[in-house]
Structure 1
């Protein structure tokens, strides 16, 4: 392949414009949607590398159709220019002409993918995201899928050289992606992302994460790389082939790749989305009384003071916790080991600099995956627990819902707790905390009826 010819195609074809469109759409989706309510958690794309590439892969529902349409536009160029018959009469093989255009499209897609990683990576680095190399295969799958989409669009454009081909191909690609994206994230029980094999045959993943620790398994990324490499090989064959027999033979890599992918891709979402072992390793203070994951190591210093204050108040309970620790989760409420007071950085992310909310979260023992979205009663129960430790009712801060209703519910439960005999109150608080950590819908049931 001549580098000079590829450079000419980059300047004079739609390849560079397609790459620029992919880049602008991706960056626009990243930064225009940054402040959405679904981003107010430690799983937000701009906080961790895994979350970033995971969200980027989700955005391929918009990027792949652009690559398909742009490739199809370039594939119809010869016919639209009225030079198809002239080129066919030239002694030079047809594949030599086509491969330069394909090279330009592939280079534009790779450059756009790299530019998106740089543009988004700036925010991840600025926010102290834990750096590792485990996200590279996930990003590579996305880049390769764009190359395959661009070449597939070119191949279809050569086969069907019509002005309607680019928009129809782009619309069809969008429809296929949305249909295949059968994943649901169940907000009611935080079951986490689930995936189907049809979805894994596309570059999309299951949307934004609800935790900073979910990663796509290396085995799944390897299968996807093989599948998109096979699809790209078939697409390139369709671009360069000029005879019917050659075009039929070009389908073989995609068919073989599809068979292998259908055989090797896991059906169980737990085998697709796994915990990142590097990011979940614990980093602790010298006395090992406060521990956070390596992914949140930059938060340890700010957490240590409030955490030790919360631990100092635990002596009022039997078998009081002696350690504050972050418990990594896939999105479901994790099991809390005995003697551990969990910290939920998602809840603290909502609290911001509000020290009262931070204290309520720590003292109540809120676990990741079981936060304020569980309703007013859960917030009221956490407020009651924290107030009991400091012997003073502290009105809650409601993130969602009506402040007055939550305060009234919490204050009623607080008086009910204080009305109990002093010797029974610690055990009731233990039961309240267990209900909160188990994400029970009615944690105040641990109090007297009518509370």
Structure 2
């Protein structure tokens, strides 16, 4: 069998298919930006989602192989041999199928060298995700081979690729944005995780595995079957597998992803005050700690300032239209602890990290459900920074010039008060924000409301 596999690898289109898969995988990662450089979870998602393009290529590659006998006018000669059809086709099926599947795994391992060098957290499900893609690619090759054997036209390879692409796009759009149809699970273009500590759930991995097994079983039976019975069985097997793959993963984002406690485990820098980030972002701890401590020094102008800082972590998976995500989900800071966000861009912390922490006197990530007082938050932050406005705060306020005008008015009213009164007002505004009391924080800063 080894010798036959070697012959098939040399004579079939396996090498061409491997090169196409590698090229498409590289293009997919390059076009996705730098999100995958430092985190295994992001790499796993992007590599898994690349099946959206890789599966059509696998189908086309299998169809090219399926056309070989009729294209070379050897179909009757080969059929006249005494070997069973399944035995004759097995070396080709294994050669091209395994070549495609192993390419997917090897490429993931090669790309994983980059996040591995950063010491990024790697959860088990993130490492298992590529295995489901391997099954899908093997099944795609075999199903394409069956199509090529059924119809030897040169139009078959591009046709099956285009149909697979259109089918996935259609399935991913069922129900519109935020739709919850189970049919969306049959598209290999899945919704991405919202945060780096959201890992794929086992039930979603099971769904992808069943989808791959259904493709593989159906492709094998359709390729090797000589009568109507195995072909009917193939359709039945794919129907059952696809139905299970659509239902088992669930329909909500909270069904597809889960909070990975290991990824959220805090890793702390040496020195005081203590600064901690999540394990999945440990690679930026050394860069973040000085800026966070600088922000804590600024916040220390107020009485009762925090003595410890920890990166904000979600206590639930972000779902489409979740009303609790107005301000950091429902995660509340611990007493004496400053919650902050790293404001990552291309896996690097923002140059305005201090401003993003100081805004709202350190209360932006307070987890209150009633929302965020942008005007009061920016006014308090600008007062603490000794500036007229905060630049680079990642809260979308730059899109509302009228709010910036209100900030200037509130800041002027605050600074018109005696110094000790200014400190009292900002501290009162901070306490109101942390308590989620719903008090008018702008009125507190302007002196129009009591603390």
Range class of TM-score, shorter chain: 0.7 to 0.9
Query: Closer, same or farther in 2 for the Cα pair 1:311/1:294, shift >3 Å?
Result: same
How far 1:285 sits from its partner (Å)?
Answer: 4.8
CA distance in 1, matches of 2:179, 2:47: 18
Native 8 Å contact 1:76 1:157 kept in 2: yes
How far 1:65 sits from its partner (Å)?
Answer: 0.8
In structure 1, list runs of 5 or more residues that go unmatched: 187-192
Native 8 Å contact 1:76 1:160 kept in 2: yes
Native 8 Å contact 1:144 1:225 kept in 2: yes
Equivalent residue, structure 2, for 1:204: 189
How far 1:122 sits from its partner (Å)?
Answer: 2.7
Q: 2:335 matched to 1:336?
A: no
Q: 2:246 matched to 1:265?
A: no
Query: Closer, same or farther in 2 for the Cα pair 1:183/1:251, shift >3 Å?
Result: closer
Native 8 Å contact 2:44 2:129 kept in 1: yes
CA distance in 2, matches of 1:103, 1:381: 65
How many correspondences in the alignment? 422
Query: Closer, same or farther in 2 for the Cα pair 1:194/1:23, shift >3 Å?
Result: farther
Q: 2:419 matched to 1:418?
A: no
Deviation track 1:88-119 (CA, whole Å, cap 9, x = no partner) reads 12222121121111101211112220232134
How far 1:448 sits from its partner (Å)?
Answer: 5.4
Q: 2:309 matched to 1:324?
A: yes
Query: Closer, same or farther in 2 for the Cα pair 1:395/1:200, shift >3 Å?
Result: closer
Native 8 Å contact 2:275 2:308 kept in 1: yes
TM score, norm. by length of structure 1 = 0.81
Deviation track 1:333-374 (CA, whole Å, cap 9, x = no partner) reads 2322243321212357698573xx12111222375799xxx9
Native 8 Å contact 1:23 1:115 kept in 2: no
Aligned residue for 1:242, secondary structure, equals coil
Equivalent residue, structure 1, for 2:105: 114
Q: 2:96 matched to 1:105?
A: yes
**How do 1:40-439 residues align onto structure 2 when only pairs under 5 Å count?**
44-182=35-173, 196-207=181-192, 209-285=193-269, 289-317=274-302, 319-329=304-314, 330-331=317-318, 332=325, 333-334=328-329, 335-339=331-335, 340-347=337-344, 352=349, 354=351, 357-364=352-359, 365=362, 378=374, 383-393=378-388, 395-397=390-392, 410-419=407-416, 421-422=421-422, 423-431=424-432
Native 8 Å contact 2:40 2:126 kept in 1: yes
Which moved further from structure 2: 91-100 or 279-288? 279-288
In structure 2, list runs of 5 or more residues that go unmatched: 319-324
CA distance in 2, matches of 1:126, 1:301: 16
Query: Closer, same or farther in 2 for the Cα pair 1:343/1:94, shift >3 Å?
Result: same
Native 8 Å contact 1:151 1:239 kept in 2: yes
Aligned residue for 1:134, secondary structure, equals helix
How far 1:20 sits from its partner (Å)?
Answer: 1.4
How far 1:75 sits from its partner (Å)?
Answer: 0.9
Native 8 Å contact 1:384 1:410 kept in 2: yes
Highest relative contact order (Cα 8 Å, sep 6+), 1 or 2? 1
Aligned residue for 1:251, secondary structure, equals helix
Deviation track 1:238-289 (CA, whole Å, cap 9, x = no partner) reads 1111222222223332233234334433233212111112111122357783
How far 1:27 sits from its partner (Å)?
Answer: 0.6
CA distance in 2, matches of 1:443, 1:428: 5
Native 8 Å contact 2:263 2:278 kept in 1: yes
CA distance in 1, matches of 2:225, 2:443: 71
Query: Closer, same or farther in 2 for the Cα pair 1:3/1:52, shift >3 Å?
Result: same
Which moved further from structure 2: 330-339 or 270-279? 330-339
Equivalent residue, structure 1, for 2:321: none
Query: Closer, same or farther in 2 for the Cα pair 1:427/1:349, shift >3 Å?
Result: farther
Native 8 Å contact 2:206 2:245 kept in 1: no
Which moved further from structure 2: 383-392 or 213-222? 383-392
Which moved further from structure 2: 150-159 or 276-285? 276-285
